[in-house]
């Protein structure tokens, strides 16, 4: 979509957003599905790629407005990505398969839990992304999204507070709360992100990410100005 004219511009190359993490089980698949659904409903032409060998997105992908699904596990999609925005359910950064995705991606959305182990792995993540930037200098961190956040757990509140202080530019402002309906969502995917707090949480996050990447969506070319975005990633973590 060309935001200036409101017309679809299919000839443009899409913005490629890899949803990844250092560890598994941090809601990469859930987040990829939820963001693709939300952006599709907003009128963007979205390609949802299942690039994790686990293949979970493929098991649950649904027929959603504005979203085309691609089984990307063979890597063929990398040759000709289409749409305004490609959301890639990427493998963990430790997996060899993540390399070709990071070579092509414009941004990486990192998902993580508010637990000490997830936070400690951020330094490893930083090294991995620095390595990826050697072949893809345009690669940026589109944010760190805390998922399955439980504000009744003091340690999680403490960790979120620490992240807010130490890397405010990196952290997506609002975490995704731990919700039963998100856990159960794959049982009824046709209806999209469950109406209520889950839909609200993901739409706030989708808006925030869109705001960050919109300059690149519009220009559809590497944007030096935004390159520094996520540079705070190297900040000392706990
Ligand atoms: N906000 C949430 N609240 C409750 N459960 C969640 C939430 N996000 C993800 N889950 C559950 O956590 C598990 C791991 O999520 P998943 O998206 O499969 O992670 P990954 O793709 O990173 O391995 C799944 O059972 C999923 O339903
Ligand atoms: Mg997954």
As a whole number, mean pLDDT of residues 35-43 equals 95
Q: Is 113 a pocket residue for ligand 1 (Cβ < 6 Å)?
A: no
Q: Which ligand is nearest to the CA of 30?
A: 1
If you measure from the C-alpha of residue 51 to the centroid of ligand 2, how many angstroms do you get, rounded to a whole number?
Answer: 9
Question: Residue 224 has what pLDDT?
Answer: 41
- DSSP of 35-70, one letter per residue? HHHHHHHTT--EEEEE-STT-HHHHH----TTEEEE
Residues within 5 A (CB) of ion ligand 2: 28-29, 56
| Residue-wise pLDDT tens digits, 90-118 | 999 989 889 999 999 999 999 999 999 88
If you measure from the C-alpha of residue 95 to the centroid of ligand 2, how many angstroms do you get, rounded to a whole number?
Answer: 13
| DSSP run (H or E) holding 176 | none
| Residue-wise pLDDT tens digits, 133-147 | 999 998 999 999 999
| Residue-wise pLDDT tens digits, 202-230 | 999 999 999 988 877 765 544 443 333 33
Site of tokens 């899409």: 14
Could you name the CATH architecture of 20-224?
A: 3-Layer(aba) Sandwich (3.40)
Question: Residue 223 has what pLDDT?
Answer: 40
CA–CA distance, 67 with 178 (Å, rounded to integer): 25
Which DSSP category does 18 fall into? Answer: E
- Beta carbons of 178 and 4 less than 8 angstroms apart: no
Closest to 96 in 3D by CA, of 156, 49, 51: 51
Compute how many other C-beta atoms are within 10 angstroms of the C-beta atom of residue 228: 10
Q: Is 145 a pocket residue for ligand 1 (Cβ < 6 Å)?
A: no
| Residue-wise pLDDT tens digits, 144-195 | 999 999 999 999 999 999 999 988 989 999 999 999 999 999 888 888 999 9
As a whole number, mean pLDDT of residues 21-40 equals 94
Q: Which ligand is nearest to the CA of 186?
A: 1
Q: Is 50 a pocket residue for ligand 1 (Cβ < 6 Å)?
A: no
Q: Which ligand is nearest to the CA of 110?
A: 1
Question: Residue 216 has what pLDDT?
Answer: 76
Question: Residue 196 has what pLDDT?
Answer: 96
Q: Is 183 a pocket residue for ligand 1 (Cβ < 6 Å)?
A: yes
Position in ligand 1 atom list of the atom nearest CA 179: 3
Q: Is 60 a pocket residue for ligand 1 (Cβ < 6 Å)?
A: no
Closest to 137 in 3D by CA, of 76, 226, 210: 226
Sorting pLDDT into bands at 50, 70 and 90, what band is 6? low
If you measure from the C-alpha of residue 152 to the centroid of ligand 2, how many angstroms do you get, rounded to a whole number?
Answer: 26
Report whether pLDDT(232) > 50.
no
- Beta carbons of 177 and 146 less than 8 angstroms apart: no
Beta bridge partners of 132: none
């Amino acid at each position: 979509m060309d935001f200036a004219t409101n017309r679809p511009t299919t000839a443009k190359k899409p913005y490629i957003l890899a949803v990844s993490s250092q560890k598994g089980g941090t809601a990469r698949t859930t987040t990829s599905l939820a963001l693709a659904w939300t952006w599709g409903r907003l009128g963007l032409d979205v390609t949802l790629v299942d690039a994790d060998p686990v293949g979970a997105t493929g098991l649950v992908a649904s027929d959603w407005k504005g979203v085309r699904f691609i089984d990307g596990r063979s890597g063929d999609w990398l040759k000709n990505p289409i749409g305004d925005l490609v959301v890639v359910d990427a493998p963990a950064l430790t997996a060899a398969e993540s390399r070709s995705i990071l070579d092509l991606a414009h941004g990486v959305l990192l998902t993580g839990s508010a637990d000490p182990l997830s936070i400690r792995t951020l330094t490893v993540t930083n090294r991995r992304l620095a390595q990826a930037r050697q072949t893809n200098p345009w690669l940026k961190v589109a944010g760190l999204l805390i998922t399955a956040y439980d504000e009744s757990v003091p340690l999680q509140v403490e960790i979120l507070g620490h992240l807010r202080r130490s890397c405010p530019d990196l952290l997506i402002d609002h975490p995704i709360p731990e919700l039963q309906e998100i856990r159960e969502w794959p049982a009824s995917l046709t209806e999209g992100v469950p109406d209520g707090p889950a839909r609200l949480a993901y739409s706030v996050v989708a808006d925030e990410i869109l705001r960050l990447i919109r300059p690149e969506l519009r220009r559809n070319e590497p944007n030096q100005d935004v390159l520094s975005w996520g540079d705070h990633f190297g900040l000392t973590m706990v």
